[in-house]
Amino acid sequence: MPATTKSAQRQRKYTKSNYQEFRQGYLFLTPAIIILGIFIAAAVLFVVYLSFHKVNLFTGEYTFVGLDNYTRLLGDGMARTALKNTLSFAVIVVPIQTILAMIIASVLDSKIKGRYLFRTIYFLPTLTSSSALTIIFMFMFSVTGPVNNILIRMGFLETGINFLNDPSFALKVIMVMNIWSTIPQYTTMYLASLQDLPGSMYEAASIDGADSIRKFIYITVPYLKPITTYVLLTGIIGTLQMFDQAYIFSNGSGGPANSTLTVSLLVYRYAFGTQNAMGYAAAIAILLAVIIMIVSFTSEKLNASESDY
Amino acid sequence: MKEKKAKAPSLGRAMLYVILIAAAFLTLYPFLWMVAASFKPLKEIVGGNMSLISPNMSLDNYTYILGRSSMFTRWFFNSLFVSVIGTTLNVFINTMAGYSLSRLHFPGRDKIHHFLLVLMMVPGQVLLIPNYLILQNLGMLDSYTALIIPSAANIGNIFLMRQFFVNFPKEVEEAASIDGLGRYSRFFRISMPLARPTIATQAIFVFMGFWNSFTGPMLYIKSEAKYTLTLGLQSFQSQNAGTMWNQVMAAACISVLPIIIIYLIFNKFFMVGVRMDGEK
């Protein structure tokens, strides 16, 4: 059936006004297609092409090197450090931001006085640029800054810790900052979903004698499962690509002692730093993109198979 | 609103407030410090004084960064220029594309729709190197164009607008067409004005994206006179690290202010936008 209707449609003669509509349709799409075509579609093809070449930025020379850029990765200690930093960043940041966002959202969802004020306050970090945020946090954690002062006053420390220049602390400061600044976004997503949770579910649970914590664990958390998948996915994609905060924090170096070197920062340094290794940087960027896309596909598949029940 | 248990036991209720206030305090604290430090002299900031208010507060830091010896005012207007032009272009380009994908019938429409869905999956980081080289070949490096044009269309917002026009009654336009209005005047004089709330949501998020963007300006802009605020802030900080926190904080305050004002005025659009993202 559908096949015959389709061919019938195809054989149908288009009228003049049909052609006019085609023209309008393409015309309205043209600006978007040109921009997305050049800066996304062509750019993807170009980066794949680059990854098989050695690029000399100064002479504009491209030499084909086959898979060299990819095999070079295997023996690259810097790449291993960057991958380790990025993965530990994702593994620590993503669960914490997800859990905290879920808790805050479910508290905000209860009929509590002043929840609109709280909601407005919580949203503030989302509005702030990564450069302003990073600078505020660098100030907070500087040797003479508020965090050190609090710790000294409470008697935990004798003198201030140099959080920013100590390799064992630097990445942790960025983690704290990242968690702090991403929670609001995920809280809002959870809140939107909680609006649709039928209140009768809670009532039934109260009649059965469940307290708030049990209600949270047995009703809220399972109900939010689909949105949690989405939050986790967004969190993983975001943390794996983390760049701005690490760049500003270390002024582009990934220091101290490569402790804040993320994969994206490494790509930047190889491509635009003194190494002038754009082809190699392109190969690393592609591998990162492939990892991200695999994560997205897997979690979407998992989510789809679960909602079949 | 849905019905929930009106009054929980008072202990539980107190717990909820403790959590909310603690979270609000942790959220606000860095901002309060930023504001407080922007009015204080440097000596006091690095001196370990923990109180937010001090008798030595003044507008000196603001006078300095807004004064002639600093590029700050210039960076502010660069950001404003790029964000306003970029947002305007996005609004027209995305709305037209969304309209075309939902309202107009032409061969290949579904293919284009799918193609855009695939493009949306591409992570932004992988595009930095090729886009740098493309802009270099187009002779656009170190120009405002480099900041505006690559971001002048946005797939997420094209779909946002498409969704709006899918749900928008056709009859309104049909009536206008009986009145003798052509497609273009119908779009610009009727459909687009009626889409105002959705366009506002789009515009706010696009503006915020341009205003806060860092990676693009950092890669594409070389001359200090063309810096945006985010880039200027970073350079300000890296030049003055550990020394001029007072001025850096005043600069950070000014950079955050426009977005906070927009947020307070257009609060409801923010929630709509996030909801759209959240619900996919």
Residues A147 and A244 in one domain: yes
Residues A80 and A65 in one domain: no
* Contact across the interface for B106 and A271, Cβ inside 8 Å: no
Residues A91 and A161 in one domain: yes
C-alpha span between A238 and A185 (Å, rounded):
12
Residues A235 and A217 in one domain: yes
Domain assignment of residue A7, yes or no: no
Residues A230 and A270 in one domain: yes
pLDDT tier at A308 (50, 70, 90 boundaries)?
A: very low
Long-range contacts of A196-202 (CB under 8 A, 24+ apart): A197/A109, A197/A223, A197/B2, A198/B2, A199/B2, A199/B3, A199/B4, A200/B3, A202/B4, A202/B5
Identify residue A71 by its one-letter amino acid code.
T
Beta carbons of B94 and B202 less than 8 angstroms apart:
yes
Q: Which chain B residues have a beta carbon less than 8 Å from that of A247?
A: 214-215, 218
Q: What pTM value is reported for the model? A: 0.89
Residues A62 and A169 in one domain: no
What is the pLDDT, as a whole number, of residue B275? 45
Residues A25 and A87 in one domain: no
Distance, C-alpha A113 to centroid of its chain: 33
Convert the pLDDT of each residue in B248-265 to its tens digit: 899 999 999 999 999 888
Residue predicted with more confidence, A210 or B139: B139
**Residues B135-155: what's their mean pLDDT?**
96
User: Distances from the Cα of A167 to the Cαs of A161, A249, A260, B151, in angstroms?
Assistant: 12, 12, 8, 36
C-alpha span between A57 and A61 (Å, rounded):
7
pLDDT tier at A207 (50, 70, 90 boundaries)?
A: confident
Residue at token pair 């945020």: A133
Domain assignment of residue A278, yes or no: yes
Domain assignment of residue A39, yes or no: yes
Convert the pLDDT of each residue in B60-76 to its tens digit: 999 988 987 778 999 99
Residue at token pair 């094209």: B158
Residues A233 and A156 in one domain: yes
CATH class in words for B65-279? mainly alpha
* Contact across the interface for A32 and B94, Cβ inside 8 Å: yes
Is it the case that residue A55 has pLDDT exceeding 60?
yes
What is the pLDDT, as a whole number, of residue B50? 73
Burial of B88 (0-12, 13-18, 19+ CB in 10 A): middle
ipTM: 0.87
User: Which residue of A11, A18, A29 to mutate against B (max B Cβ within 10 Å)?
Assistant: A29
C-alpha span between B160 and B199 (Å, rounded):
9
Domain assignment of residue A2, yes or no: no
pLDDT tier at A306 (50, 70, 90 boundaries)?
A: low
Could you tell me if B116 lies within 8 Å of chain A, comparing CB atoms?
yes
Of the candidates A24, A231, A129, A10, the residue with the CA atom closest to the CA atom of residue B232: A129
DSSP assignment of A13-43, as one string? PPPHHHHHHHHHHHHHHHHHHHHHIIIIIIH
A104: part of which helix (H) or strand (E)? helix A77-109
Per DSSP, helices labelled H in B70-154 are 72-103, 109-120, 128-137, 144-148
Domain assignment of residue A147, yes or no: yes
User: Which residue of B20, B201, B267 to mutate against A (max A Cβ within 10 Å)?
Assistant: B20
Residues A56 and A107 in one domain: no
Residues A82 and A52 in one domain: no
Q: Which of A53, A70, A87 is the last residue of a domain?
A: A70
Beta carbons of B123 and A288 less than 8 angstroms apart:
yes
What is the pLDDT, as a whole number, of residue A12? 63
Domain assignment of residue A3, yes or no: no
In this structure, what DSSP letter does residue B153 have?
-
Convert the pLDDT of each residue in B13-35 to its tens digit: 788 888 889 989 999 999 999 99
Domain with residue A127: its CATH number is: 1.10.3720.10
C-alpha span between B42 and B245 (Å, rounded):
7
Of the candidates B223, B212, B206, B84, the residue with the CA atom closest to the CA atom of residue B151: B206
All structural domains of chain B with their residue ranges: 10-56, 65-279
* Number of compact structural domains in chain A: 2
* Contact across the interface for B123 and A292, Cβ inside 8 Å: yes
Q: Which chain A residues have a beta carbon less than 8 Å from that of B101?
A: 29
3-state secondary structure A180-240: HHHHHHHHHHHHHHHCCCCHHHHHHHHHCCCCHHHHHHHHHHHHCHHHHHHHHHHHHHHHH
Domain extent, residue A57, equals: 16-70
Backbone φ, ψ for residue A63 (5° rounding): -110, 130
What is the pLDDT, as a whole number, of residue B9? 57
Residues A48 and A174 in one domain: no
**Looking at the partner chain, which of A26, A41, A288 has a beta carbon nearest the beta carbon of B119?**
A41
Residues A48 and A104 in one domain: no
User: Distances from the Cα of A252 to the Cαs of A260, A269, B134, B143, in angstroms?
Assistant: 10, 8, 23, 22
Q: Which of A28, A50, A70 is the last residue of a domain?
A: A70
